[in-house]
Structure 1
């Protein structure tokens, strides 16, 4: 309420207070009426009080009018204010709705932006995926094409078939003729008593070409399979069981294998001997054998090997350790024996009905020993960061049948008598170590030492001699090889080997019934029993055929065979899908030294010795 209104109300209250006493003194109604009439007639004059009252009334009326006007205005303003408030409320509601809508639109816009970003990401991912898919499809197509056109193995049902081998074009030159292919009979290098020692030979051959196939079948418990390998270096009716058990077409390897997931492996068939060094582990596998990198198919003097039947149980434990035991084919090789008695035998020529060779081209018989038991070999190997190491032992059993009642004689006796079987054991140990020198070279050391283990040396010096009473005696032998193989370039290997094999002199004294006081020296390389004076005397041919070089009498029992080799291999091209083509060349110097004998007169010592220079070349293509 305004101050003006308050003043007006206060004035009305004062007037009311004045008005009330004046009415109490007013004359009777009749008097008032009379006065009015008089006034009609003539208005009396107003008194000052009346004037004041009238003015106040007028003012009150005016004020009331103003108040009413103010009320009306206030009401109008209140209405306008209410309308404004309603409009404001509506505006706020509209604004809130607009805000909500804006937020919704903003959220929708953000959602749309997110959806667009996600869509863009999806499109990008799809592009990348499509690119990757295209690359995958391209790679898969390429891989499938390669597998179809250049498969690493053939699949037949559940079997994986992997072919292997190589085709070889090879030559050999020897300064002293051996009439041999690329396979060198080291212990046959001629002394100077034969015409062949004065002629060289050059031979060219592809017979070392090799074909192989590996069969592998995975199983729930491991894997099984087998391997077959052949070449053409057999010699027909002269094949035997003495070292490589090879018959034409020459069966190099033919074995079956079952490997269990727990580390046990069984292998059986014709394979490399357990005594032969392998590159890693202990099990037989294609190419697992660590051979000298020679072209010579007889490898190198001092190298330990056999390729024969075996049954091998192997176990791998702690990842790097391996143990194995094997039983292997046995043969007895009689070393050249002086004054051997005639009262014994330990084998015979092969029986053609049993598919063994009986004769060699109608002349020399191919002999097979009557084995009492197989050879037994055990080996432990370890693969460490410092190299590959092997150590093992060989147990051998030699049996012959001799006739003690006949007594010592070098003359064949046909008297009926009863024979007795005699068995003697032999054996020895072997060790192989190969140490890498960074990645550019490897150094290897190989040792074989034993009694009656000469057959396991590559020179095949012999296992036993015979005593005067007809029983067998194993001969002490040693073999060793040092190898250095370098890899100066990815395509190039340069290597060198030095090895030797030794056979101990073993001699016995005997007496004949005809000369009971004159000693006869029996055994391997007796100095008194040999006359080696003619070992350096060449004699003329023995026939007019042109194929009969002469040779004088020379015992020349081998004491040691030594060989040194240097060579290289250069891989001209190598591809995992197309194979490898390479060229190799080696040079070897071979020495064969005999035990000291006597000259013809028996008075001066003679030391027969033979040497040979050999150069090999090889051009090979390997199947991938």
Structure 2
């Protein structure tokens, strides 16, 4: 049987040309200066890749026909048959849509009278019987799926530039990919050297702990402070594997040295210890547009930049490791399921996450060292809100009692201009009280709702970011860590109202400079009661604030009502190349603390800071 030559050679020639054009063609010089044109080219490349995938399927069917015909003819070519050229595309495209060095298309030809040669894919010989392992659109282009989705959504916000500080805070990976068999290894992180000068003594380094800003009764209010360290140097790694053309599994881990221990010696060795920032597993199905995550990651409440995609969280460009007053965030264990619709335009996400409750126990005396607080009335009455850690947990930290995980839902929308999202959560603070020898469990229902948006005023040059969250019993999801609850007279949780918001303007005047300005605010409500001559609860008007303005006085309850922060800063990338990026930044920050009024008034305090930072990013 003779196979018509035009049925094979023409598609093969076209496939060759298509692969060469879609993988090897260089970008025009103007592409770097015109992001919109670059996006158009990327969409055209996507269409070419889809056509390539269809051609590959046609070629596979032709090869199977040839195998069958040769089997029928005893393995020899028919008289007048034409040789078949087979071209495999082994170029891996990542991040900026650039082929990885060392991967070039390979071809093999079957001459008349010879058995069919095995097609070469990415420099490796694969038997014809394993044609299903050939590169497809997903396996060739999407090995950095978070970048691919960001480009395909095309919301004029775009994915994080991996060199920006916001991207580094989210866990940005570098652009270099290493291969260990079928597993791809991508590295990230940076070497960091930061310092600050502040007009109060807070002793928290570049982590801005607003609850510790002193009032005038403390000598720390009258003392300036300098601190510098390298403890926020960071390392991250992702291992990624392609289970099939549409299913990708990945593991991500990130660590720094931001934790302290009893052996930390700030006078000699400055021996801070490594800590876990993120560690999670993801499973992405590009056919069903489903995305799964389990492990420790940024909470799904954290505002995103595009879709609901890990490492694309919208975080400020600030140097301070506590990020920004009013920022919604937490890093914690979670099980997340996300589905996107309309070609990555609309996203829905559901997550169950590790719970925790911050209690304020103003007026309640400790009834023990293990999370027990005395209640009014009988001296044996108490409330149990948590337990000190044991085993591998910190024995100096009290872990709150929790009855169920936090439940979080989010909807995100990426039209052609901007990113928008709404979100909500449920939290279930839980404790136990013992009154007159009778124990009772108590569970409250805390809730919150909010949203965020990114407005690309000048796409890729100037953007405005807005975000907020409000509810009851959710203070821990803000950077200031205001309390979620206090206690009622019967020992049950008394939820505190909470609100937080941020607004920022970020400019990229050129490729090497980022300039930003932010305002953030977080505030808390109050709940209190008076019994047996004592004042209990948060924000009680009978709280003693009489000594807050007198240095050396201990009479200063001063429950925080709100914290505001104004900050501006800039980053300059003065070295950039194949060896990585070196950048320097500076930031000015001013924070102001307002308190609930009590006996002696409602004192305020403030903190002014200047930050400096140098970073070397070897993988970006």
TM-score, normalising length: structure 2: 0.67
Distance apart, 1:339 and its partner CA: 4.3
1:260 aligns with 2:285: yes
Tell whether 2:311 aligns with 1:299.
no
Structure 1 pair 336/590, CA: closer, same or farther in 2 (3 Å)? Answer: farther
1:270 aligns with 2:283: no
Pairwise CA distance, 1:248? 4.0
Partner Cα distance (1:151, 1:379) in 2: 30
Distance in 2 (alpha carbons) for counterparts of 1:535 and 1:141? 64
Q: CA deviation at 1:507?
A: 1.9
Q: Which runs of 5+ in 2 are unaligned?
A: 1-19, 27-90, 92-97, 105-121, 123-173, 265-271, 366-373, 376-381
Residues 161-184 of structure 1: CA deviation (Å, up to 9, x unaligned): 011100011101110010111111
Q: Does residue 196 in structure 1 map to residue 197 in structure 2?
A: no
Task: Let me know the Cα RMSD of the aligned residues.
Answer: 2.6
| Residue correspondence of structure 1 range 203-352 to structure 2 within 5 A | 203-220=227-244, 221-236=246-261, 248-261=273-286, 262-285=288-311, 288-318=312-342, 319-339=344-364, 341-342=374-375, 343-351=382-390
Residues 49-198 of structure 1 aligned to structure 2 (within 5 Å): 143-144=101-102, 152-198=176-222
1:523 and 2:537 are equivalent in the alignment = yes
Name 2:548's counterpart in structure 1.
Answer: 535
Give the Cα separation in 2 of the matches to 1:237 and 1:298. Answer: 22
What is the CA–CA distance in structure 2 between the aligned matches of 1:265 and 1:237, rounded to whole Å? 40
Contact 1:338/1:525 (8 A) holds in 2 = no
Give a deviation string over 1:548-574, Cα, whole Å, max 9, x none: xxx623101000011000000111122
Distance 1:500 1:469, change over 3 A: same
Distance in 2 between residues matched to 1:420 and 1:357, nearest whole Å: 27
Q: Is the 1:338–1:526 contact (alpha carbons within 8 Å) kept by the matching residues of 2?
A: no
* Distance in structure 2 (CA, Å) of the matches to 1:586 and 1:379: 32
Q: Which residue of structure 2 lines up, in the alignment, with residue 572 of structure 1? A: 574
Could you tell me whether the CA contact under 8 Å between 1:345 and 1:400 is conserved in 2?
yes
Q: 1:339 to 1:358 in 2, by over 3 A?
A: closer
Aligned with 2:548: secondary structure?
helix
Residue 391 (structure 1) shift: 0.6
> Is 1:619 the counterpart of 2:614 in the alignment?
yes
Q: Secondary structure of the equivalent of 1:419?
A: strand
8 Å Cα contact 1:336/1:557 also seen in 2: no
Deviations 1:294-326 (A, max 9, x none): 000000001000001111001111121111111
* 1:441-465 C-alpha deviation (Å, 9 max, x unpaired): 1101111101000000000011101
Q: Which residue, 384, 387, 390 being the options, matches 2:421?
A: 390
- 1:501-512 aligned at under 5 Å gives the runs 501-510=522-531, 512=532
> CA offsets per residue over residues 253-279 of structure 1, 9 Å max, x none?
000001112111110001000000121
Contact 2:175 2:186 in 1 (8 A): no
What is the distance in 1 between the residues matched to 2:180 and 2:359?
A: 48
1:488 equivalenced with 2:446 (yes/no): no
Partners of 1:175 and 1:228 lie apart in 2 by 36
Quick check: 1:191–1:197 contact (8 Å CA) kept in 2? Answer: yes
Alpha-carbon offset, residue 372 of structure 1? 0.5
Distance 1:387 1:283 in 2: 16
Distance (whole Å) between structure 2 residues aligned to residue 330 and residue 301 of structure 1? 21
Counterpart CA distance in 2 for 1:237 and 1:471 is 34
Q: What residue in structure 2 maps to residue 561 of structure 1?
A: 563
Q: When the two structures are aligned, how many residues end up with a matched partner?
A: 434
Equivalent residues of 1:238, 1:357 under 8 A apart: no
How far apart, CA to CA, are the structure 1 residues paired with 2:324 and 2:247? 37
Go from structure 1 to structure 2 and tell me whether the alpha carbon gap of 1:387 and 1:461 turns closer, same or farther (over 3 Å shift). Answer: same
* CA deviations over 1:55-79 (Å, ceiling 9, x no partner): xxxxxxxxxxxxxxxxxxxxxxxxx
Residues 183 and 435 (structure 1 numbering): CA distance in 2 closer, same or farther, change over 3 Å? same
> 5 Å matches for 1:35-50?
none
For residues 157 and 488 of structure 1, the distance between their equivalents in structure 2, rounded to whole angstroms, comes to 42
Whole-angstrom CA distance in 1 between matches of 2:223 and 2:242? 56
Name the counterpart of 1:590.
Answer: 591
Q: What is the Cα deviation at residue 142 of structure 1?
A: 11
Q: Following the alignment from structure 1 to structure 2, what is the Cα–Cα distance between the partners of residues 248 and 330?
A: 25
Aligned counterparts of 1:525 and 1:338: Cα–Cα separation in 2: 11
The Cα of 1:236 is off from its aligned counterpart by 2.1
**Closer, same or farther in 2 for the Cα pair 1:321/1:490, shift >3 Å?**
same
Unaligned runs of 5+ in 1: 1-128, 240-246, 360-365, 406-416, 513-517, 540-550, 600-605
Of Structure 1 and Structure 2, the greater helix share is in 1
Say if 2:463 is the partner of 1:437: no
Q: Radius of gyration: which is bigger?
A: 1
Partners of 2:432 and 2:440 within 8 A in 1 = yes
Take 1:532 and 1:593, find their aligned partners in 2: how far apart are those partners? 13
Deviation at 1:222, TM superposition (A): 1.2
